Amino acid sequence: MVCPPPLNVAGFTEVVFKIPHLYKAYQKVKEAFRTRKPDLLILIDYPDMNLRLARAAYKENIPVLYYISPQVWAWRSGRVKDIARFVNRLAVILPFEADFYKPYGVKAEFVGHPLLDRLKQFIPSGGLSARDEGDQILIGLLPGSRPGEIKMILPILLEAAWGLTREYDRKIRFVLPVANTLEPQPIREQIRPYQERGMALELAAEDSQTALARCHQAIVASGTVTLEAAILGIPFQIVYKVSVVNYWIARHLIDVPYVGLVNWVAGKKIIPEYIQDEAVPQSIITGAKRYLEEPEHVLKIKEELAAVREKLGHPGASQRVAQMALEMMRGNRG
């Protein structure tokens, strides 16, 4: 088995500084194709690198199983041609993706979302959950897992949380889980002034899933965490902001009706999105107050989130992909 080094890159401008490292990793894996002749190449997400590796594997007659589709339905749809040519089987995790690929002749199979396995211990099974009990409301603040996201989004979330604290006093607490990709000390220093002013904010070492499972509602950055909150049935709001340059590039390359994956799966905007200039504390405060003061609205949102969870399939995605891999290694590439 050959695994490339971890390459955590996000944004359009940030990737430029990683090009030498990316190229070195690419050449290393290509050499392994030639010298070790693997029976199967399994690619997971990370399209810019992985589609190049798929092309290299094709030249060496190595079958390719791609798990987690590039988001060609959102942008750079021209990559579908490469997928159709160089990928033998594609395991997709969003319900609409298999139908998207049909016209292109790609053998795509919906296997369900892997989050359903990771979160099954937290998925509501009916009745009251722990977060429905007690007098205090716990709100999750999840500004992202990368330093750039923390820089742009966390100040907005903290100001919104402070506004809610002033209005509701001790009825509200906040929890901010720190991703293992981040250094907690700078975040601790950033939140300290708010804690000193009386905001009940807990900096938690637990992962986002565990923290969300305790919350009544959440304010999150766009990304996989939106599906985590949906699966857990937690009303939330989506906030996202990037640098002016990255936003300008994105506006010219990406034409999508929604930013949040949860709204893509739902096929409509069930969760509010505050993007770039709309990402201001007062809008977030207004949205949080609806969840706090309108029980009928909360019930409707939870029903919509339950429908999203149903669309994401059933637990066992990894086992299904493993079965696909076994079939391919036994000679069934088609």
Yes or no: say if 95 and 313 are a contact pair by the CB < 8 Å rule. Answer: yes
pLDDT tens for each residue of 8-26? 444 444 555 567 777 888 8
Asked which of 16-30, 80-94, 168-182, 241-255 is least confident by mean pLDDT, the reply is: 241-255
Write down the pLDDT at residue 43.
Answer: 96
Asked which of 3-12, 155-164, 280-289, 307-316 is least confident by mean pLDDT, the reply is: 3-12
Residue 115 has pLDDT above 70, yes or no: yes
pLDDT > 90 fraction of the chain, expressed in percent and rounded: 69
Pick the residue with more confidence: 33 or 251? 33
Return d(Cα 230, Cα 222) in angstroms, integer: 13
Pick the residue with more confidence: 230 or 15? 230
* Structural domains of the chain sorted by starting position, each given as residue range(s) with its CATH number in brackets: 20-112+316-329 (3.40.50.2000), 130-311 (3.40.50.2000)
Pick the residue with more confidence: 308 or 126? 308
Residue 251 has pLDDT above 80, yes or no: no
For residue 245, which amino acid is it? Answer: V
266-282: average pLDDT: 95
Q: Which residues contact 103 (CB under 8 A, 6 or more apart)?
A: none
Residue 209 CA: distances (Å) to CA of 191, 314, 321 = 21, 18, 23
Cβ-based neighbour number of residue 39 at 10 Å: 11
CA 60, chain centre distance (Å):
33
Enter the pTM of the model: 0.84
Q: What is the 3-state secondary structure (H, E, C) of 272-329?
A: CEEEHHHCCHHHHHHHHHHHHHCHHHHHHHHHHHHHHHHHCCCCCHHHHHHHHHHHHH
CA 310, chain centre distance (Å):
18
- Residue 123 banded pLDDT, cuts 50, 70, 90: confident
Longest dimension (CA), the chain: 65
Question: Residue 20 has what DSSP assignment?
Answer: H
Return d(Cα 129, Cα 126) in angstroms, integer: 8
Residue 72 CA: distances (Å) to CA of 45, 75, 81, 97, 331 = 12, 5, 10, 9, 29
Strand 201-204 vs strand 172-177: parallel, antiparallel, or unpaired? parallel
Q: How many helices (H) does the chain have, and how many strands (E)?
A: 14, 10
Asked which of 9-23, 27-41, 167-181 is least confident by mean pLDDT, the reply is: 9-23
Write down the pLDDT at residue 315.
Answer: 94
pLDDT tens for each residue of 50-85? 999 999 999 999 999 999 988 887 667 788 999 999
Write down the pLDDT at residue 131.
Answer: 57
Return d(Cα 276, Cα 144) in angstroms, integer: 15
**The tokens 């979160």 sit on which residue?**
119
Mean pLDDT over each residue of the chain, to the nearest integer: 87
102-120: average pLDDT: 94
Please measure the distance between the N-terminal and C-terminal CA atoms of the chain and give it in whole angstroms: 23
Pick the residue with more confidence: 33 or 122? 33
Half-sphere exposure in the Cβ direction for 262 (13 Å, CA): 32
Instruction: Please choose, from the candidates 218, 214, 213, the residue with its C-alpha nearest in 3D space to the C-alpha of residue 235.
Output: 218
